[in-house]
Amino acid sequence: MYTGDKAPGFILKNTDGKDTSLSDLIEEKTLVLFFFPLAFSDVCTKELCTVRDNMKMYNSLNANVTGISVDSFFVLNAFKKAENFNFTLLSDFNKKVSRQYDSFYERYFDMDGVSKRSVFVIDKEGVIRFRQTLDDSGQLPDFPRVLKCLQNLR
């Protein structure tokens, strides 16, 4: 999967257990899609708190922000409440979407199948305009490059 490719469609459960599709997320806005390994882990919490703290910027650029991990929607609900996240979290519990987006660790600290830390910017037509997949889960996405991509799509 590369920049310029059509983003694979999906339907995943949000933190309320309701189905959410890619088409729902890009209906009127550009989508910034963050895959992250595990709720409540240090780096994932830091990443998503950075996103939370910059939501005014994302909103000003007409961007919809969504996070995806393989955690259950019950765990993601607790994570969202604990950290006061002001954006959608989706459960890829069955690990299909992480694989579709080439954002998947087969083995991660003795666990089978965890989302790789990745970020995608997907335009309203469903085309990937920016992609970054990190092999080192201790790194954070390149937030300035995400911002630059969003500014260029305005």
Q: Are 35 and 100 in contact (CB under 8 A)?
A: no
Q: Which of 12, 39, 44, 121 is catalytic?
A: 44
How far, in Å, are 74, 78, 98, 105 from residue 81 at the CA level? 11, 5, 23, 27
- In this prediction, residue 28 has a pLDDT band, given cuts at 50, 70 and 90, of confident
Mean pLDDT value across residues 8-16: 98
149 is catalytic: no
pLDDT tens digits for 55-100? 999 999 999 999 999 999 999 999 999 999 999 999 999 999 999 9
- Given a cut of 80, whether residue 45 has pLDDT beyond it is yes
In terms of pLDDT, which residue wins out, 1 or 21? 21
Q: What is the mean pLDDT of the chain?
A: 95
Q: What is the pLDDT of residues 98-110, one digit of tens each?
A: 999 999 988 778 8
pLDDT tens digit sequence for 116-144? 999 999 999 999 999 999 999 999 999 99
Instruction: Find the distance separating the first CA and the last CA of the chain, reported in whole Å.
Output: 24
List Cα–Cα distances, 41 to 4, 21, 36, 44, 90, in angstroms: 32, 26, 10, 5, 17
CB atoms within 10 A of CB 59: 14
Q: In order of start, what are the domains of the chain with their CATH numbers?
A: 11-152 (3.40.30.10)
3-class SS of residue 152: helix
